[in-house]
A = this chain, B = another copy of it.
Amino acid sequence: MTNLENTIDRIQELIDSGAEQQLRDELNTYHSADLADIFQQLKPEERLKCITEIDEEKAADVIEYLPPQLQVEILGDIDTTLASRLISKLPHDEAADVLGDMEEDESQAYLDKLPQKFSSEVRELLTYNEDTAGGIMTPLVMTVYDNMTVKEALETIRIKAEKENMELYYVYVVDKHNHLVGVVSLRTLITTPMHLNISDIMSKDIVKIHVDDYQGHIADIFMKYQFNALPVVDLYNHLKGIVTWDDVQDIVEEETTDEILTSSGIVTDLGDEDDDILTGSLAHSIKARTPWLFITLIGEFIAVTITSKYDKTFSALPVIAAFMPLLAGLGGNIGTQSITLMVRGMSTGQITLSSGWHHIMRETITGLSIGFIFGMLVTLVTWGWQHNIELGLIVGIAMSLNMTIATMIGTCTPLVLKKMKIDPAVASGPVIATTIDVIGLAVYLTLVTWYLINL
């Protein structure tokens, strides 16, 4: 899809010239995922034109690939009868997501128009919190009974798969009360003699998730066991649905984005509807960015207050002030490196609380080594530039201390937050940068005042 822009130009020309048949042919050559990309670049009226030109199966498929906001927009713009037909062609979990993103009365209107069975299944999904397994799962699961033979099971699968557009990952085995009792792969089914009983060939060692499990937890389980799909059960072990890896892929991307934004001091969960910082309202974007900036402001005012106490030092030796950005900049950078390594390492599971000491030691030695190298460099450069060996030494020593302390703060803080059960990504970046500023300046100005001014 390197020529997305050419494609869009061509489609826009076809729309403008009213060449409907050619437009239809052109649109049909693309995969639904590509059409979703194209639709995002079109104007709203062009999108509507296109969605009515492609056949309904494909239109539903394209809608599945679109971002939530656009799904709701398009369905709201087209004829409601067509919209409800398209919704009924979506997988249950997608349909519930789309309807959940609409206004209450709008989604009710659609639910009333949908086929009875589909509508009641989607209504059940809508009762779950959308960040839990219940809100993510699809309720269509391929199940067979534990007292069937392989032959009966295969026949059941054939009939069910024909009737419902169902993904076939694993076949789940339930008892007559719909309790989940086992799992069997299609591969096992088709390579096992027909007369054997399902209960004899199924695996009873089932990894499962609970309807109320949160999405972060679900993603961790998928990442760890690397399954394609996991069954979802309620408190009584009734099979309620399955969560598939593609649902999880979206969760992982979302969680990673949250982790990255959070650690740069952007609040990702303001609890309002308008929750995408790149596309939401400006007010939302400002609200998401100000809280940690405000805390930085308070922190930096502490730095200002400390620094202002050294006004006599600046009057006596003004070049001292010029080195402040150097110390703060390098301290901040090496500290950020340490935080980033720790936060990421904890989120991938490479760093655990029990290996924490090891990493603290390792980072401290790294900080000392790099601090020593940079301290030497700064001493030499300053000496050569200012022809003042004492100044060079003081700045160099302050640099070494500052970088070492910054590394230690950057390494320990995420571990301490984790130990206190606080998400280490929260506030790591801005707060630590400010702390490093304050401590670094205090160390530097104390050294300078003792050795250069008072002597």
Contacts and interface: CB of A to CB of B under 8 A. Distances in A.
Interface of A: 5, 31, 33, 37, 41, 67, 154, 157-158, 161-162, 166-168, 185-187, 190-191, 205, 207, 223-226, 228, 245-246, 249, 252-253, 256-257, 260-261, 264-266, 277-279, 282, 285-286, 289-290, 292-293, 296-297, 299-301, 303-305, 307-308, 310-315, 318-326, 328-330, 332-334, 336-337, 339-341, 344-345, 348, 350-351, 354, 359, 362, 365-366, 369-370, 373-374, 377-378, 381, 429-430, 433-434, 437, 441
Nearest to A155: B190
B325 A257 contact: no
Grouping DSSP codes into helix (H, G, I), strand (E, B) and loop, the A interface class, with mixed when no group exceeds half, is helix
B321 A300 contact: no
Nearest to A279: B350
Oligomer copy total:
2
B324 A261 contact: no
Contact of A441 (B223, B285, B325): B325
B33 A224 contact: yes
A292 B301 CA distance: 28
Contacts of A328: 325, 328-329
Contact of A282 (B228, B365, B378): B365
Contacts of A369: 282, 286
A296 B330 contact: yes
Contact of A344 (B260, B265, B296, B437): B260
A209 to B, nearest CB: 14
A352 B277 CA distance: 16
8 contacts: A166-B187, A260-B344, A300-B326, A307-B322, A308-B322, A310-B322, A314-B315, A333-B433
Nearest to A261: B340
B348 A253 contact: yes
B304 A325 contact: yes
Contacts of A266: 337, 340-341
A1 to B, nearest CB: 9
Nearest to A324: B324
A187 B308 CA distance: 74
A296 B325 CA distance: 11
Contact of A260 (B190, B246, B260, B434): B260
Nearest to A434: B329
Given A225-B33, A245-B245, A311-B318, A430 B325 contact: no
Contacts of A190: 154, 157-158, 161
